[in-house]
Amino acid sequence: MPPDPVLAEPEAVAEQVFVALADPSRRAILAELASAGPATATDLAARLPITRQAIAKHLALLAEAGLVTAEPGERRRVRYRLRSAPMQVAQQFLAALARDWDGPLSALQDHLDRSTG
Amino acid sequence: MAFPDRIERTIEVAHPPGQVWAALTTAEGLGTWFGNEATVDLRPGGPARMTWANGSTVEMRVERVEEPTVFSFTWPIYGLPEDDPRRTYVEFTLEPAGTGTRLTVVESGFAQLPEDAYRKAYDGNTDGWALELAELVDYLDAA
């Protein structure tokens, strides 16, 4: 059975998020953009223990995945801004995994046993 | 399909449906085994709430009340931001099983996405301040 296109797309988006987050340098770049706002590759190289060249490579991958967007900054320097939409898609995947029904259902069983015991 | 839209669990309990129904649908029941405190307005569209000792609260909306076989509600998606409008649908089904009950819970809707999330997730264009300001306007209109 072919995958449902509506559901397959979020999965592809979520996968790109998880691939991006699997690398510590990319996590650091995303965290920096999240906490301090849009920045150029040069700004990021000054703030993070990552070379300017490596940062440029990571930013290209992140832009490809739609996790950052390039925008013109001062003096024609390109600034990168975090895009949260793919993160929100990935969050839904995590939400399904994080939902615990086994705990509450076992508490329900205990509750029923106690209230009649 | 690795992106799970629904979660399903079935348990057998050694108590009749009426008793399980009370545990699922009353403030006393929900506030004991699930939350630490609960309020329930048991009618379709009725509000319900569970609170925990750690201060967290979940607001539910009762959907189906068919005593003693189907009880359902919607609630916010765990893990998403508090203001996220998406909700999952939780449905409990009770069937007699011998002298006890077979209880099934299905929670669905994890894979839903609102229109604007689709647009933002797949549209690679630079949107910049125009989009942010449009979102601010939408937000203020909705408030």
pTM of the model: 0.74
Per-residue pLDDT of chain B (143 residues; tens, 9 = 90+): 467 788 999 999 999 999 999 999 999 999 999 999 999 999 999 999 999 999 999 999 999 999 999 999 999 987 777 777 888 999 999 999 999 999 999 999 887 765 555 555 555 444 444 445 555 656 666 66
Optimal mutation site among A69, A80, A84, A109, interface B, most CBs of chain B within 10 A: A109
Report the DSSP pairing between strands A78-82 and B37-40. unpaired
Mean pLDDT of A61-88: 89
Tell me phi and psi for residue B56, to 5 degrees.
-80, 150
Residue A2 has pLDDT above 50, yes or no: no
Question: Which one-letter DSSP state was computed for residue B68?
Answer: T
Indicate yes or no: CB of B34 within 8 angstroms of CB of A108.
yes
From residue B133, alpha-carbon distances to A93, B30, B121, B138 in Å are: 28, 42, 18, 9
Mean pLDDT of A48-73: 93
Q: Answer yes or no: are the C-beta atoms of A40 and A59 closer than 8 Å.
A: no
Q: How far is A62 from chain B (nearest CA, A)?
A: 12
What was the pLDDT predicted at A94?
87
Indicate yes or no: CB of A105 within 8 angstroms of CB of B124.
no
* Whether the bond into B68 is cis, omega within 30 of 0: yes
What was the pLDDT predicted at A7?
43
Domains defined for chain B, CATH in brackets: 6-110 (3.30.530.20), 113-143 (no CATH)
A99 touching chain B per CB within 8 A: yes
Q: How far is B5 from chain A (nearest CA, A)?
A: 7
Mean pLDDT of A74-95: 86
pLDDT tens digit string along B114-135?
Answer: 555 555 555 544 444 444 555 5
Domains defined for chain A, CATH in brackets: 5-116 (1.10.10.10)
pLDDT tens digit string along B6-24?
Answer: 899 999 999 999 999 999 9
Mean pLDDT of A72-100: 86
Q: Name chain B contacts of A66, Cβ cutoff 8 Å.
A: 121-122, 124
Dihedral of alpha carbons B14, B17, B21, B24, sign: positive
What whole-number distance in Å separates Cα of residue A62 and Cα of residue A96? Answer: 25
Residue A4 has pLDDT above 50, yes or no: no
Closest B-chain CA to A93:
B3
| pLDDT level of residue A60 (50, 70, 90 thresholds) | very high
